[in-house]
Amino acid sequence: MYEIIARTAWSLRRAERILIITGAGLSADSGLPTYRGLGGLYNGCTPEGLPIEDVLSGPMLGRDPALCWKYLAELGRACLKAEPNAGHQAIAELQRLKPQCWVLTQNIDGFHRAAGSPPERLIEIHGGIAPLFCQSCGAESDDLEGHLQRSLPPLCTACGGVLRPPVVLFEEMLPEAAVERLHGEMRKGFDAVLSVGTTASFPYIVEPVLQTRAAGGFTAEINPTATELSPYVDVHLRGRALDILSQLLSHIAGD
């Protein structure tokens, strides 16, 4: 393992343009449950007998905001209880060392920002759990915690409209600005791509890896188990994101 970490660190040190893709496995080390998209937080169906994909969907937020918010609130509480871990911090540190290192995350917990990743080099492809905004007038509210202690759905103090988080619900599109930023950076190309704790094989994860590999760049994955991505990366570092990222960083920063 030491050798494979050293080899990965060597490749990352030589790279200028780096993309780090992060998924649920990274935040699992902060105590957040591993979920596939939003839905895996729950096992299949809600007590209401509806698939979680229906309950946490854009149409449901419009039709029955109280029901949708019952589950959004669980996500919100899970995020508020947890904190960024040493893995998030190692990534932020790598971004300080590498001014062209980008983070693309599937996670909605905001932990990359909290750990110090620069917002201008952070693409939150599934949005985030905060700040809430009013669907009617657009006013923002930073007080997720306060709203979760009152009756749901949370309402806008300015106009009475229903508030929502800027998260991508089921049946909603990915945020256009985030997708455009990713594509813009992909056109410039990456010297190295590191996928951390991702399991779902969405195109926006697979494509940068395949493109970088085809162009002769370095690709690596950190995950305790093999994933659909594993056959396509140069290096598969088997283990927890938190441990391996910390070791990688000490190699990269240390010599």
In which element (H, E) is residue 105 found? strand 101-105
- The tokens describing 1, both together, are 């393992």
Amino acid at 228: E
Residue 140 interacts with Zn ion (CB under 5 A): yes or no: no
Residue 136 interacts with Zn ion (CB under 5 A): yes or no: yes
Helices (H) and strands (E) in the chain, counts: 11, 9
| Residue entry with tokens 């935040």 | 27
Integer Cα distance of 155 and 175 in angstroms:
23
Size of the site for Zn ion (CB under 5 A): 8
Q: Which of 79, 141, 89 is nearest to 115 (CA)?
A: 89
Integer Cα distance of 126 and 108 in angstroms:
6
Residue 179 interacts with Zn ion (CB under 5 A): yes or no: no
- Comparing CB distances to Zn ion, the nearer of 10 and 133 is 133
- Comparing CB distances to Zn ion, the nearer of 58 and 161 is 161
- Which listed residue (139, 179, 210, 235) binds Zn ion by CB under 5 A? 139
Whether 126 is a known active-site residue: answer yes
Integer Cα distance of 25 and 198 in angstroms:
6
Cβ count within 10 A of residue 203: 8
Looking at 14-22, 123-131, 138-146, 200-208, which segment touches Zn ion (CB under 5 A)? Answer: 138-146
Residue 135 interacts with Zn ion (CB under 5 A): yes or no: no
Residue 211 interacts with Zn ion (CB under 5 A): yes or no: no
| Residue entry with tokens 């190309």 | 189
Integer Cα distance of 201 and 130 in angstroms:
26
Contact 222, 245 (CB under 8 A): yes
Site string for Zn ion, 64-103 (x = CB under 5 A): ----------------------------------------
Looking at 12-20, 49-57, 123-131, 151-159, which segment touches Zn ion (CB under 5 A)? Answer: 151-159
Beta carbon of residue 113, minimum distance to Zn ion (angstroms, whole number): 25
Looking at 7-15, 161-169, 198-206, 238-246, which segment touches Zn ion (CB under 5 A)? Answer: 161-169
- The tokens describing 30, both together, are 């902060």
Residue 253 interacts with Zn ion (CB under 5 A): yes or no: no
Q: Choosing from 88, 112, 126, 147, which is the catalytic residue?
A: 126
| Residue entry with tokens 């000490």 | 250
- Which listed residue (18, 134, 182, 220) binds Zn ion by CB under 5 A? 134
Looking at 25-33, 107-115, 157-165, 223-231, which segment touches Zn ion (CB under 5 A)? Answer: 157-165
Q: What are φ and ψ of residue 237, in 5° steps?
A: -90, 110
Beta carbon of residue 153, minimum distance to Zn ion (angstroms, whole number): 12
- List residues near Zn ion by CB under 5 A: 134, 136-137, 139, 156, 158-159, 161
Among all residues, which ones are annotated catalytic? 126
